[in-house]
Amino acid sequence: MLIKNFIHTEELDGKPVSSQEVEIVERKGLGHPDTLIDGACESMSLALCDYYEQNFGRILHHNVDKGLLVGGESAPKFGGGKVIRPITILVAGRAVSEYSHKGVKQAIPVGEIVDNAVRSFLKRTIRNLEIDRDVEIQFRIRNPSSDLSYLSEKGIANDTSIGVGFAPFSETERITLGIEQYLNRDETKKIFPEIGEDIKVMALRRGKDLDITVAMAMVDKYIPDKSHYISVIQQVHGRLLDVFSKDMSLNLSIKINNADDYENNSFYLTVTGTSAECGDDGNTGRGNRVTGLISPMRMYSMEATAGKNPTIHTGKIYNALAQFAAERIAKEVGGVQEVYVRLLSRIGTPISEPTVASVALRLHKGYSFVNVKSDVESILSEELADVKKITSLIRQRKIHLY
């Protein structure tokens, strides 16, 4: 395969993250305010994509990636409290609201589309949230500029943006993500309905010792008293150790709701299962990266992916593509210990031709950079040539964005 001149590869010196003395990893769970506002923005984008394509045969220009979640006020208590003031979700952005199709100018009900999308997202994400009562949705979505709409029609990059991906996950990263996913899966909620969706996992590895801190919102109506609360925390702690201590090389310790003070009757109780009801606010792009993690020891982009147009906004496409390519390289190319893919777009140029597509590798002992270079470049070249695949995967909800 012909390798384009914008593809660059290099070998990195030094230890991989998994071999460094200290590693820190974070996962903000499904019900964390930052994750919720990411999900709200992305649900808007996906709904607009569906409407545009169904009615006009193409995805029109939009970006709804500037979201703010303002926490409400609540009064939780054992046996069931109440939400006093609703959560507010406010999204600003751009979306085509009027379009001429087959000679007829049609108004597009952008407000109705995005409102329904957010309510549907919240309903399937936070099971104890009364959407119509406990949430208010506001939006300031205007028409896009004509030049960006033009770029959208041409299918070329509408921003100068960075996308970064890495693979494979370290053991610390796998466990951090795995704990949140375990606690938020349906099977766990059937056993422990007391556990809310707002689960934050922070991991610190020092050498072979992995110390996990879990902040786990508890739903008050399922907890009659203090002893029940403590019992659930102890049971969950035991289960996590049983599940995640198996087949691992690290010494695992876990602390759950470490700020609780049982003697002074201070507990992480919520009415709905998310701290957004009272304790915290959220911003789009402030939470997990496309890996589903916050890994500060890694290379990554600060670009917010949620809510961006999945057809031309490289701030979204390149982050997803970089992660997809990194995972494929780690899986298919022998000897790869650690790989980073860095993509840079330039506004107004084809998405398949970035300014640079750079791959940085660390190899296992005994493997030669010269011998793997062509395989790595071939994979990245193939992925860039098939970049439209990323749009389809995003719309099918097959790629994690946060």
Model pLDDT, residue 150: 61
Model pLDDT, residue 87: 98
Task: Answer yes or no: is pLDDT of 96 > 70.
Answer: yes
Taking residues 127-141, what's their average pLDDT?
96
Asked if the structure places residue 310 within a domain, the reply is yes
Contacts 24+ apart (CB under 8 A), 115-118: 115/139, 116/47, 117/43, 117/44, 117/46, 117/47, 118/40, 118/43, 118/44, 118/89, 118/91
Asked if the structure places residue 23 within a domain, the reply is no
Say yes or no: 120 and 176 in one domain. no
Asked if the structure places residue 179 within a domain, the reply is yes
Which residue, 154, 189, 219, sits at the end of a domain?
154
Task: Answer yes or no: is pLDDT of 153 > 80.
Answer: no
Model pLDDT, residue 400: 86
Split into its structural domains, the chain has a count of 3
Asked if the structure places residue 21 within a domain, the reply is no
Task: Answer yes or no: is pLDDT of 275 > 70.
Answer: yes
* Burial classification of residue 13, based on how many CB atoms lie within 10 Å of its CB (0-12 exposed, 13-18 middle, 19 or more buried): exposed
Say yes or no: 375 and 295 in one domain. yes
Say yes or no: 221 and 304 in one domain. no
Say yes or no: 243 and 185 in one domain. yes
Say yes or no: 43 and 130 in one domain. yes
Say yes or no: 177 and 75 in one domain. no
Express each pLDDT in 3-16 by its tens digit.
Answer: 578 999 999 999 99
Model pLDDT, residue 247: 85
Percent of the chain with pLDDT over 90: 91
Task: Answer yes or no: is pLDDT of 336 > 60.
Answer: yes
Task: Answer yes or no: is pLDDT of 148 > 70.
Answer: no
d(CA 307, CA 278): 25
Asked if the structure places residue 164 within a domain, the reply is yes
Say yes or no: 44 and 150 in one domain. yes
The distance of Cα 12 from the centroid of its chain, to the nearest Å, equals 27
Bridge partner list, 283: 68
- CATH code at position 255: 3.30.300.340
Say yes or no: 259 and 307 in one domain. no
Ramachandran sector of residue 181 (left: φ over 0; alpha: ψ -120 to 50; beta: rest): alpha
Task: Answer yes or no: is pLDDT of 2 > 60.
Answer: no
Model confidence pTM above 0.85? yes
Task: Answer yes or no: is pLDDT of 147 > 70.
Answer: no
Q: At what angle do helices 314-332 and 388-395 cross, to 10 degrees?
A: 100
Asked if the structure places residue 26 within a domain, the reply is no
Model pLDDT, residue 343: 97
* Sheet strand arrangement including 336-344: 7-11, 356-363, 336-344, 162-167
Q: Domain limits at 199?
A: 171-281
Model pLDDT, residue 344: 97
Which residue carries 């009064």 as its tokens?
75
Say yes or no: 253 and 340 in one domain. no
Structure tokens of 393?
A: 């995967």
Which residue, 121, 154, 187, sits at the end of a domain?
154
Model pLDDT, residue 3: 58
- CATH code at position 135: 3.30.300.10
Model pLDDT, residue 66: 97
Q: How confident is the model at residue 103 (pLDDT cuts 50, 70, 90)?
A: confident
Say yes or no: 267 and 292 in one domain. no
Percent of the chain with pLDDT over 70: 97
Express each pLDDT in 161-170 by its tens digit.
Answer: 999 999 999 9
d(CA 308, CA 114): 14
Say yes or no: 290 and 349 in one domain. yes
Q: At what angle do helices 171-183 and 226-244 cross, to 10 degrees?
A: 140
- CATH code at position 297: 3.30.300.280
Which residue, 98, 123, 154, sits at the end of a domain?
154
Task: Answer yes or no: is pLDDT of 145 > 90.
Answer: no
Asked if the structure places residue 133 within a domain, the reply is yes
Say yes or no: 190 and 331 in one domain. no
Asked if the structure places residue 248 within a domain, the reply is yes
* Burial per residue of 38-49, b for 16 or more beta-carbon CB atoms within 10 angstroms, e otherwise: bbbbbbbbbbbb
Express each pLDDT in 213-260 by its tens digit.
Answer: 999 999 999 999 999 999 999 999 999 999 999 889 999 999 999 999
Express each pLDDT in 176-208 by its tens digit.
Answer: 999 999 999 999 999 999 999 999 999 999 999
